[in-house]
Chain A
Amino acid sequence: MPRYFFSLRHRPGENGLAVDHEGDELADETLVRAHALHVARETIAKDRMVTIRDWMVCSFEITDEAGRHIMTVPFSEVVSDEDDED
């Protein structure tokens, strides 16, 4: 299965990206967005961090194994995608 990397953008600039070197295996690209939204939803609901005041300004910058940018999924899309099924 292909592996996709979900780096977390929390501030502009080089230091504002938490680079994902490990990734998640997903069958294909159509599942990438749903996975990003699922993780974003869990993060907003449960994860409390000193570093992040507001998860809503964060986004996932998603790349494939070749390092190509696949898509950017803002955490704020969780709100408008309430009935998005994972």
Chain B
Amino acid sequence: MSPDDFALLQPHLQLVHTELRQTLIAPNEPVKQLFFPETGYVSMVTQGSQGDKVEAALIGWEGIVGASPVLLGTDRTPHHSFVQAPGKMLVIDKSALCAAVDQSPSLHKLLLRYTQVLLVEAVQTAFVNASYQIEVRLARWVVMCHDRVDGDELTMTHDFVAMMLGVQRSSATLAVQALEGLLLIKAKRGRMTVRDRQGLIDLADGGYGLPEAEYARLIEGA
């Protein structure tokens, strides 16, 4: 983001500490605030009729939570965004963000480009869920979480892993064991340590990397 665009937003940004599983954007309710995670990350999920959720995208320091409905001109979304890893986030009122976007074409373009990256990520997740087995999907997801934390440690229960991948908890446990057996991660109750990031990317077999490359091209290269 250019210094000028940041200066437009800066007076309206407020630092908040988020909690695990805190809802940032509730499904089908008007979006009032948007969030720029500084640390921690957020899951954007869709919910089935049985209450089962599957993750479509992860949003951390690279992104903004609430961008797609607000930038695309609607006040709500059926998707649920909640905190998966707690941390510090900058929050801005929707009206302040919209005013800044109206004032600055470059800010508008940047946020629209991020929305495109988010779409690419969600489509990639659909592709990976349809095409790959659970161990491979877990490898991709661990790398995506690793991208959004400092250090190598990730905190997550198997129940949570299962929910994010849309699988049974016992299958998630088996997949964690399989990655551990390949020496790619180290797992303890409720926590994982990344041991071999490149090994995880290799196992993800092309499932990881496309949205990340689009991010580099559209946002970092802009």
Q: What residues of chain A have their CB less than 8 Å away from a CB belonging to chain B?
A: 6-8, 10, 15, 18-22, 39, 42-43, 46-52, 60
- Tell me the chain B residues, 148-188 only, with Cβ under 8 Å from chain A: 157-159, 166-171, 173-175, 177-178, 181
> For B171, what are the chain A residues with a Cβ–Cβ distance below 8 Å?
43, 47, 49
* Contacts across chains A and B counted by CB atoms under 8 Å: 57
Given B135, B169, B189, which contacts A51 in the complex, CB threshold below 8 Å? B135
Give every chain B residue within 8 A of A52 (Cβ-Cβ). Answer: 174
User: Looking at the complex, which one of A18, A21, A39 makes contact with B174 (CB distance below 8 Å)?
Assistant: A18
Number of interface residues of B (CB under 8 A): 20
Measured between beta carbons, the chain B residues less than 8 angstroms from A49 are 133-135, 171, 174-175, 178
Check: B200 CB closer than 8 A to any chain A CB.
Answer: no
A15 to B180, CA, bound (A): 12
Q: Which residues of B contact A20 (CB under 8 A)?
A: 158, 169-170, 173
Bound CA span A33–B77, Å:
39
Q: Mark B58-96, 1 if CB is under 8 A from A, else 0.
A: 000000000000000000000000000000000000000
